[in-house]
Amino acid sequence: MAYVINDDCISCGSCEGECPVEAISMGDEHYMINADLCTDCGTCADACPVEAIHAE
């Protein structure tokens, strides 16, 4: 089960630098998590200032 970023994302980039497997990248409208790379560590969710990241 991968983490996902919802539309509350403000594209601040806080999560991208925290991901240990580089599964997060900028999408068309906000950051996105590659489910195939995500290891479900939750580090990104802890780093998000607007709580836009949650377990799928």
- pTM for the structure as a whole: 0.90
Structure tokens at 21: 């497997």
Would strands 31-33 and 24-26 be described as parallel, antiparallel, or unpaired? antiparallel
pLDDT at 1 over 80: no
The stretch 41-45 carries a mean pLDDT of 97
Mean pLDDT of the chain: 96
Query: What is residue 6's DSSP assignment?
Result: -
> Domain containing 48: what range?
3-55
How large a percentage of the chain has pLDDT more than 70? Answer: 100
Number of structural domains in the chain: 1
The domain that contains 30 carries what CATH number? 3.30.70.20
